[in-house]
Structure 1
Amino acid sequence: MARPRQALLTRERIVEAASALVDAEGLDALSTRRLATELSVQGPSLYNHFATKSDIVDAVADAVIEQVDVSAFGTFPWDEALRRWARSYHAVLSAHPNIVPVLAQGPGRRPGGLAMAEAVYGALVDAGWSYARATHIGALMRYLVTGSALGSFALGFDVDPQLYDRYPHLGHAPRLAEHHEAVDEGAFELGLDLLITGLTARYEMGTR
């Protein structure tokens, strides 16, 4: 009886397995040995596709960024496009929080990250923002999105009510955890709205 053929090892399979591992267990769990085990291959075979573990991490990060929808740029006015993109960016990173520390460092040489930066920066410049201001806006949006995706503000408080006897203004803190999704999403939306409202005001004043 013929032995079943082993699935061909490809960059796509490696990235898919690495992404699943990072999502499930975090960046520290990712090693070439562990990845080879997950793929049922010998470790050295990974190096036919990636020179280093860092290259694999970069590919995982880029695979996440490629899920962000940038189609609003060139379709909607700059402010609405920025809002739609930020929401997509936030949703994607929130679904993959373990890779956010890598993404927070910037696109580096990753094609997907550079393509997203090109779409955002190009749309802002085309809308009339100066090169400097477009750069500031791109950086500011990244701070908002990656910062909000790094962890939950609401889950950062202990649920023991007695802990807050000495902190009367934090009396409601133990209840934040049960409403963490609404709290965190509301905070992101408030920040996004204030940011775009402020930018729109500057734009209309001609301060670009």
Structure 2
Amino acid sequence: MAPAGPAPRRRGRPRQPVLSEERITKSAIKIVATRGYQHLTMTELAQELKVSTSALYNHTPSKRDVLIRVQDAINQGIDRSGFDTLPWDQALERWARSYRDCYAQHTAMIPIMAVLPVANSPHTLQMYETVASGLADAGWSRAEIADVIVSVESLVFGAAYDATAPADIFDPGERSDLAPVFADAVRARPADAEAAAEEAFDMALTAMLDGFRLRLSAAQDRTAGQD
């Protein structure tokens, strides 16, 4: 009797799809982190996933769609829960700190995410709605809510870069004579780069929140004076 050959291949689609939203998203983030954004093309993404470009297009219609998934996946790591239980300023602080920590792990994505329109990004829009609603409930005017959010994000993205900067980023080298006051100030900072970055972020965030409180209080006083 002849030996049995390999079992015939089952027809039809495989039980498990070759692609998934999670695989596509993780591969896109990996490409940007390891090779740079210029390499995030549908062709290179398909190569990373080991599928044909046409198969990738069958699963996701465009690079824009990939970026929406990336944006939502990263932003899911940001804690917005404080707006349900805390005063607006404490909730905003928790959100800002979590936001900074999240993007300190994804600094390669900041130049993309900072300017990517949020249209059709479900989780990101829900996050902004939570923050905006919390600020509105606290008395912030509709005209200023988006500015508060943008102000926090401007600080957050810069602080995320600083959290991963090299320890000697401000070392003047052999030319400390050109900036003696600055050189002394740098030496007065914590020697640990992570601690120095945290101290700077604390100072900036505290100053921002103090300013926000004063601004909101002044606006409420003006409104009360008009009644």
TM-score (norm 1): 0.85
> Is it true that 1:169 corresponds to 2:158 in the alignment?
no
State the alpha-carbon separation in 1 of the partners of residues 52 and 165 from structure 2.
43
The aligned residue for residue 123 of structure 1 is 134
**Counterpart-to-counterpart distance in 2, 1:58 and 1:123:** 25
Residue 136 of structure 1 corresponds to 147
**Corresponding residue for residue 50 of structure 1:** 60
* Paired position in structure 2 for 1:78: 88
Moved more, 139-148 or 90-99: 139-148
State the 1:36 CA deviation: 1.7
CA distance in 2, matches of 1:95, 1:153: 9
SS, match of residue 82 in structure 2: coil
Q: 1:32 to 1:176 in 2, by over 3 A?
A: farther
List runs of 5+ in structure 1 lacking aligned partners: none
Distance 1:14 1:193 in 2: 38
What SS is found at the alignment partner of 1:14?
helix
> Quick one: which amino acid aligns to residue 35 of structure 2?
E
For the aligned residues, what is the CA RMSD? 2.8
Q: Which has the larger radius of gyration?
A: 2
Number of the residue aligned with 2:99: 89
> Residue 180 of structure 1 aligns with which residue?
193
After TM superposition, the structure 1 stretch with the greater mean CA deviation from structure 2, 146-155 or 5-14, is 146-155
TM-superposition CA deviations, 1:51-85 (whole Å, max 9, x none) = 22232123212211121111111211111110111
Instruction: Find the aligned partners of 1:67 and 1:154 in 2 and give their Cα distance.
Output: 22
User: How far does residue 12 in structure 1 lie from its aligned partner after superposition?
Assistant: 2.1
Q: Secondary structure at the match of 1:9?
A: coil
> Which has the higher mean CA deviation after the structures are superposed, 115-124 or 44-53?
44-53
- TM-score, normalized by length of structure 2? 0.78
**3-state SS, counterpart of residue 73 of structure 1:** helix
Distance across 1 between alignment mates of 2:191 and 2:39: 29
Superposed displacement of residue 175, structure 1: 9.2
Work out whether residues 163 and 198 of structure 2, in 8 Å CA contact, stay in contact via their aligned partners in 1.
no
Counterparts in 2 of 1:36 and 1:175: CA distance versus 1, 3 Å? farther
Aligned length: 207
Q: Report the equivalent of 2:23.
A: 13
Correspondence 1:112 to 2:132: no
Contact 1:107 1:113 in 2 (8 A): no
Displacement after TM superposition at 1:184 (Å) = 1.9
